[in-house]
Amino acid sequence: MKQIRWVNAQLHNHTVHSDGKATVPEMVEALANRGAELIALTDHNSVSGHPQLLPACREKGVHGLRGIEVTTFYGHVLGLGVKEYIDWRGYSPECPEKICRDIRKLGGLAGLAHPIRIGYPAVTGCAWLYHISDYDAFDYIEILNTSDFQFCRNDLAIELWINRLRAGNTHLAAVSGLDYHARPWHGKETVTWLGMDSGIADPESAALDAIRSQRAIVCKDSLIRIEVRDSYRNRQLPGSRFSGTAQELLLDTAGKENLTVVLWDQNGSQILGTAKPSMPLPRIEQFLVVALYRGVPDVLNLEAISNPFFPDCTRGGNHPVCNN
Amino acid sequence: MKPLSQCLFSAAGELPYGQKYYHISYTFEISKEYKVLEVLLEYEPEKRTKPPKDLEKEVREAARTEIFREDPQTISDLINLCPLKNLINLAIKGPDGWRGEDHKFLCRREICLAEEGSTPCFSNGKNLPGQYELVLHVYAVFTDSLRYRVEVRGL
Ligand SMILES: [Zn+2]
Ligand SMILES: [Zn+2]
């Protein structure tokens, strides 16, 4: 049985190895100081900071995750786990899937970065102008990019992700990214909590496994635990595919009160009520995504959003337990 | 005294206003191993100070189609992102593969490639003899024109 440990992860960060202002050790220090336990380095078309990442992380007692942000003219694709430069000249607006294939060939996970953001002439290259024919080419979507709230529609990015789950791209994980460039904090930053398998010794592999397995909860800051109790009385984590029905929502809001719970499934969404440690669930179709908001369900009030649970799943039987 | 470096390659060009999404590639041979290669990219002007006349129209269109916003506040905030800086990345490939790429908004880049202490964005390594390639990734030219120059020197 898997032992899962929840880890505070920051998965999208820049340094002087592209247009960030911090050196690699400065970036690691800044993020570790605000609680990050796993820090990715994803410079624009650059891996030259990688040799410094793991030593800087060791120094601060945190884990590093090497990656890249493939920064093309028509949009950005994150390649977590990629340790090589990628020549991006051959990518055409009709086939972003090729970027994902190249990332996967290099052992990485392909993430659609800030999918709904403005580009030229305001921030050239940052808008997503590619036509995606096959969302299965991607491993995850950055549903929250907190670098520039005004010109990056996180509300629509969440909607895009839910719609892709409904369209059958059920493997797509959801994560957040600071898109750290060493600008001042604005208070709306978020954390991706990854449920890392303690049985995987290498932290980079464990982080990639957690994303691939959709074992992740995006939170405003401290971890809000979101679990489901199934009809066999098993506790299920986000990403779980299990054979029973989803009976009960189990929430640990880390002391936060008056949170509104919203559910999405294949057919629609509904407000379940004010968060309680245990809440009976209605009938769920295909998948369940759970979000908690401070008051009105608006992306700016988001406290936590889970990756999907998959009840009534014939491939079930995987019941990770939590040890922290 | 600094040893005299040798010019191994140079090129120059001019790009018009509105040039975007465009790659320029230069390949050249380096006949022997140099301890240090210095690669210079400079261009001018760095940025536009007065907004071009069609900027508002372009911003409005981008806001409408890319972030689905048309409210006057968003449009004016976006226009206030001016002055608009030109953006060109420089990527360098050596005989044994890519050395890196710099995604920066600076009009002068002095890049040093060496076994140790290479400029950030570029990896350390021997500068082997063989074919090199410089790629200018032109994201956007906002100025009326942009004159650039690249030069490679060996030490
Ligand atoms: Zn980006
Ligand atoms: Zn970024």
What's the Cα-to-Cα distance from A62 to each of A33, A57, B107, rounded to whole Å? 11, 5, 36
Nearest C-alpha of chain B: how many angstroms from A269? 23
Task: Give phi and psi for A33, each to the nearest 5.
Answer: -65, -25
**Among A residues 214-273, those touching chain B with beta carbons less than 8 Å apart:** none
CA nearest to B52 within chain A: A121
**Percent residues over pLDDT 70 in chain A:** 97
Question: CA–CA separation, B118 vs A28, rounded Å?
Answer: 21
Is the pLDDT reported for residue A321 higher than 50?
Answer: no
CA nearest to A44 within chain B: B103
In a shared domain, residues B53 and B114: no
Task: Dump pLDDT digits (tens) for A124-137.
Answer: 899 999 999 999 99
Structural domain contains residue B10: yes
In a shared domain, residues B75 and B100: no
CA nearest to B105 within chain A: A19
H helix or E strand, kind and range, residue A169? none
Q: Which residues from chain B sit within 8 angstroms of residue A84, using beta carbons? A: 98
Nearest C-alpha of chain A: how many angstroms from B98? 7
Total tally of structural domains belonging to chain B: 2
Question: CA–CA separation, A157 vs A149, rounded Å?
Answer: 12
Mean pLDDT of the residues in chain B: 94
Task: Give phi and psi for B78, each to the nearest 5.
Answer: -70, -40
B31, B61, B82 — which closes off a domain? Answer: B82
**Percent residues over pLDDT 90 in chain A:** 93
In a shared domain, residues B61 and B75: yes
Structural domain contains residue B1: no
In a shared domain, residues B58 and B133: no
Structural domain contains residue B95: yes
Task: Dump pLDDT digits (tens) for A76-126.
Answer: 999 999 999 999 999 999 999 999 999 999 999 999 999 999 999 888 899
Q: Which residues from chain A sit within 8 angstroms of residue B97, using beta carbons? A: 85
> Ligand nearest A71 Cα, by number?
1
Q: Which residue out of B25, B48, B66, B118 would a mutagenesis test of the A interface target, given it has the greatest number of A Cβ atoms within 10 Å?
A: B66
Query: In terms of Cα–Cα distance, which of A163, A170, A114 is closest to A269?
Result: A163
In a shared domain, residues B41 and B55: no
Three-point CA angle A216, A72, B56, nearest 5°: 105
Residue B20 confidence (pLDDT) = 94
Domains of chain A: 4-219 (3.20.20.140), 225-306 (no CATH)
Would you state the structure tokens that stand for residue A247, as one six-digit string?
């009976």
Other beta carbons less than 10 A from residue B50's beta carbon: 8
In a shared domain, residues B28 and B96: yes
Is the pLDDT reported for residue A314 higher than 80?
Answer: no
In a shared domain, residues B138 and B104: yes
Average pLDDT on B72-83 reads 86
- Give this complex's ipTM: 0.94
B58, B82, B106 — which closes off a domain? Answer: B82
Q: What is the dihedral of CA A87, A89, A90, A91, to 10 degrees?
A: 100
Is A125 within 8 Å of chain B by CB? yes
In a shared domain, residues B118 and B91: yes
Q: How far is the CA of A71 from the centre of ligand 1 (A)?
A: 7
User: Do the beta carbons of residue A18 and residue B121 sit within 8 Å?
Assistant: yes
Question: CA–CA separation, A296 vs A299, rounded Å?
Answer: 9
Q: Which residues from chain A sit within 8 angstroms of residue B118, using beta carbons? A: 48
Question: CA–CA separation, A87 vs A70, rounded Å?
Answer: 9
Number of CB pairs, chain A paired with chain B, less than 8 A apart: 104
Residue B1 confidence (pLDDT) = 60
User: Do the beta carbons of residue B11 and residue B149 sit within 8 Å?
Assistant: yes
Task: Dump pLDDT digits (tens) for B104-150.
Answer: 989 999 999 999 999 999 999 999 999 999 999 999 999 999 999 99
Spell out the residues 6+ positions from residue A168 whose beta carbon is closer than 8 angstroms to its own: none
Is the pLDDT reported for residue A316 higher than 80?
Answer: no
CA nearest to A42 within chain B: B121
Task: Dump pLDDT digits (tens) for B48-57.
Answer: 888 888 889 9
Is the pLDDT reported for residue B3 higher than 80?
Answer: no
Q: Do A48 and B91 touch (CB under 8 A)?
A: no
B82, B98, B131 — which closes off a domain? Answer: B82
Looking up residue B37, the CATH number of its domain turns out to be 2.60.120.380
In a shared domain, residues B28 and B62: no
Other beta carbons less than 10 A from residue A253's beta carbon: 20
Q: Which residues from chain A sit within 8 angstroms of residue B96, using beta carbons? A: none
In a shared domain, residues B93 and B127: yes
Query: In terms of Cα–Cα distance, which of B33, B64, B8 is closest to A119?
Result: B64
Q: How far is the CA of A227 from the centre of ligand 1 (A)?
A: 31
Structural domain contains residue B93: yes
In a shared domain, residues B93 and B76: no
Q: Do B140 and A156 touch (CB under 8 A)?
A: no
Question: CA–CA separation, A177 vs A17, rounded Å?
Answer: 18
Is the pLDDT reported for residue A10 higher than 70?
Answer: yes
Measure CB to CB from residue B21 to each of A49, A73, A152 and give the nearest one: A73
Q: Do A18 and B58 touch (CB under 8 A)?
A: no
Structural domain contains residue B97: yes
Task: Dump pLDDT digits (tens) for A231-289.
Answer: 999 999 999 999 999 999 999 999 999 999 999 999 999 999 999 999 999 999 999 99
In a shared domain, residues B77 and B91: no
Residue A122 confidence (pLDDT) = 87
Half-sphere exposure of B143 (CA within 13 A, CB side): 19
Domain extent at residue B103? 6-48+84-154
Residue A212 confidence (pLDDT) = 98
Average pLDDT on B29-43 reads 97
